Amino acid sequence: MRVSCLIATLLILAAPMHAQEAERDAAGIVRDAVNHWRGLSSYTEMSMVIHRPDWERSMTMRAWTKGDKQSLVRVIEPKKDRGNGTLTDDNNMWTYSPKVNRVIKIPSSMMGQSWMGSDFSNKDVARADDIIDQYDHALLGTEELDGITVYEIESIPHEEAAVVWGREVLTIRDDHVILRHRFYDQDGELVKTLESLEIAEMGGRTVAKRQRMSKTESPEEWTEIQVNSVEYEIDISDSMFTQSNLRNPR
């Protein structure tokens, strides 16, 4: 009887520890995936294709990031869009268009709107850390895919979190590459999916070279971003991430 009671007590004590360990592991997997993609700093040359059933638009961009708060994206081609840019610094986001020659701050009410006419929202571009800081994470399952361990993680926002999603589900390889990122509304309906279509060694690490964002209700409409080249852990001055540089590149 004493042995049985001891075993039961150990099982009760072990259960919450196991739950805490699983939660910590899931949060760590998500955090490592975001940090792996971003690095301490980075410079990327990429192309974006916005596809609709009756038209298609493409552009080439350059992007710089530093830490987890600063980023700058600038359009290079086509000529008519050259110079358009997006700057993020901490919780603030600005856009610039040479046509109107104005730097415009994006209010929080517009963060859910389309970024540069694509299927990505302003918030998708500006607030990658929300998934780390404002969500609880749980490991749903693990599988082997082509000899690589893959984790499925459910991320539920904190009650006070200023996010639009009811939950998000990420499929992440153990080398930190996100294979799929699904976004669900408050009613549990799948709204859109970001999927990695091509994975490659670039910049000294394994990354998603080509990704597609598509909406559940209109799968024939999508946006693809392809990384053409990337460098990590480079020296970038803080002056890169200023409104002055957004308007007048140095």
Domain locations in the chain as residue ranges:
20-247
Give the pLDDT confidence score for residue 111 in this predicted structure: 86
Given this model, what pLDDT does residue 194 score? 97
| Span 140-161, average pLDDT | 93
* Contact yes or no for 88/125 (Cβ under 8 A): yes
Token digits of residue 64: 């710089």
The class of domain 20-247 in CATH terms is: mainly beta
Structure token pair of residue 40 = 């301490």
Pairing between β-strand 178-184 and β-strand 148-157 as defined by DSSP bridges: unpaired
CA separation for the pair 10, 190 (Å, rounded): 40
Distances (CA, A) of 166 to 141, 146, 150, 163: 20, 31, 23, 8
186-220 pLDDT per residue, tens: 999 999 999 999 999 999 999 999 999 999 999 99
Q: Minimum mean pLDDT among 31-40, 55-64, 93-102, 194-203: which range? A: 31-40
